Amino acid sequence: MDIMETYGEFVANTYARFPICLIGGKGAELFDENGKLYIDLGSGIAVNTFGATDEKWQQAVTDQAKRLQHASNLYYTGPSGELARMLCEKTGMKKVFFSNSGAEANECAIKAARRYSFLKYGEGRHTIITLKNSFHGRTITTLAATGQETFHTVFGPFTEGFKFAEPNDPSSLRSLTESGDCAAIMMEMIQGEGGIYNLSREFVEEAKRISDKKDILLIIDEVQTGNGRTGKLYSYMHYGFMPDIVTTAKGLGGGLPIGATLLGEKLKDTLIPGSHGSTFGGNPICCAGALSILSRLDSKLMEEVTHKSEYIISELIGSKGVKSISGMGLMLGIECERPVKDIIAGCIEKGVLVLSAKEKVRLLPPLTISYDELKKAVAILKEEIAV
Ligand SMILES: *Cc1c(COP(=O)(O)O)cnc(C)c1O
């Protein structure tokens, strides 16, 4: 039985997979079981920050695997403490809770926000406002937080206490925060799964103003936008404000599962022993990998991300079949005349892996992709868009 047949028989059918079985790679180059090469403009959905099998990351991970793979949170281990310190030093946040995924990072943010509000204001002030068209994860609670009706069927009853504001409409945010039952506002600075939609400066400033005035916590979901993806360490940094909570995952581990919930000044003492936990959270191998990634997301690399972004945009803007380009840094959405599934299939045929987000082509290449690879891949993408 070959690999795809085995999946067909034994793996839960939750994904519409492309008929490719990837078995290896180096940087932005991947190869499948038949030896066919691909240039990767998806990074396993913004996960492989430095591409496949990055040597420094590999060294950090294997060194830790040889030392100790897990110890439980009943004891101290080295890497998670180091990683928490580095995250706090680079952001100004005060404490970090580690989990294993983006959904769990958001679960922790929701729990921390509700606990903060409960301890300070008592019962009932628990509503969390998120945005229409957002995506916050696949657990029952993070689905409830996700502002898309299609996710709110079949699996009910869902967690209560979420309301949805219209993105980029400050008046919608104002009216939803008037009732006094609001604990937090949670949002992505660029809606990823929703189709790469950037929040406007005006909207973000209004959210911050309301948050400051009413002690409504501002939670920024940086699961996809974080860890250098947009040309800053975290995308909120483009807007010049301090969130109360930042959640991240995907690119932080460079390919290993990790989630992190960064708690600001107001929340630094909110979580106490027994209030939250995770068996694998802070796993030393995942944290060693993340330390290798995070320590190299410096201003030089961020400039490189910005330049590569400018290159992609300059190649595609005004090119045949391209209607618009959204996003920031190496998180770009390209609205095309041709159906996105045909473009993806055409690119695969020619050895380029791209993603979709709703109706758009979505690009999330490794931050370290070479200009040579980028040039080749963008030329092929341009051809396929123009068909
Ligand atoms: C992917 C994603 C999540 C969910 O992350 P998982 O690791 O799949 O649980 C949450 N929020 C955003 C913005 C995402 O892009």
Strands 22-26 and 29-32: antiparallel
- d(Cα 251, Cα 70) in Å, to the nearest integer? 21
Looking at residues 282-310, what average pLDDT do you find? 98
Ligand 1 atom 15: residue of nearest CA? 224
- d(Cα 278, Cα 191) in Å, to the nearest integer? 27
- d(Cα 39, Cα 387) in Å, to the nearest integer? 20
Confidence band (pLDDT; 50, 70, 90) for 365?
Answer: very high
pLDDT at position 134: 98
- d(Cα 58, Cα 346) in Å, to the nearest integer? 33
Q: Is 192 a pocket residue for ligand 1 (Cβ < 6 Å)?
A: yes
Q: Is 195 a pocket residue for ligand 1 (Cβ < 6 Å)?
A: no
- d(Cα 198, Cα 167) in Å, to the nearest integer? 9
Q: Which atom of ligand 1 is nearest to the CA of 100?
A: 7
H and E: helices and strands count for the chain: 12, 17
Closest CA to 27 of 366, 282, 383: 366
Looking at residues 340-355, what average pLDDT do you find? 98
Q: Is 51 a pocket residue for ligand 1 (Cβ < 6 Å)?
A: no
Q: Is 107 a pocket residue for ligand 1 (Cβ < 6 Å)?
A: no
Looking at residues 50-79, what average pLDDT do you find? 98
- d(Cα 320, Cα 20) in Å, to the nearest integer? 29
Secondary structure percentages of the chain, helix, strand, coil, to 5: 40, 20, 40
* 142 C-alpha to ligand 1 centroid (Å): 9
Mean predicted lDDT score pLDDT of the chain? 98
List pLDDT tens digits, range 194-238. 999 999 999 999 999 999 999 999 999 999 999 999 999 999 999
Looking at residues 291-300, what average pLDDT do you find? 98
pLDDT at position 1: 72
- d(Cα 57, Cα 284) in Å, to the nearest integer? 13
Q: Which atom of ligand 1 is nearest to the CA of 134?
A: 13
The contacts of residue 58 (CB under 8 Å, 6+ apart) are: none
pLDDT at position 62: 98
Q: Is 223 a pocket residue for ligand 1 (Cβ < 6 Å)?
A: yes
pLDDT at position 11: 97
- d(Cα 356, Cα 382) in Å, to the nearest integer? 15
pLDDT at position 249: 98
List pLDDT tens digits, range 134-156. 999 999 999 999 999 999 999 99
Q: Are 28 and 366 in contact (CB under 8 A)?
A: yes
Q: Is 254 a pocket residue for ligand 1 (Cβ < 6 Å)?
A: no
Query: Is the confidence at residue 287, as pLDDT, over 80?
Result: yes
- d(Cα 113, Cα 231) in Å, to the nearest integer? 28
- Looking at residue 254, the DSSP 8-state letter turns out to be B
**Token duo for residue 185:** 């506002």
Looking at residues 329-336, what average pLDDT do you find? 98
- d(Cα 43, Cα 251) in Å, to the nearest integer? 9
* 106 C-alpha to ligand 1 centroid (Å): 9
List pLDDT tens digits, range 22-37. 999 999 999 999 999 9
- d(Cα 167, Cα 197) in Å, to the nearest integer? 9
Looking at residues 184-202, what average pLDDT do you find? 98
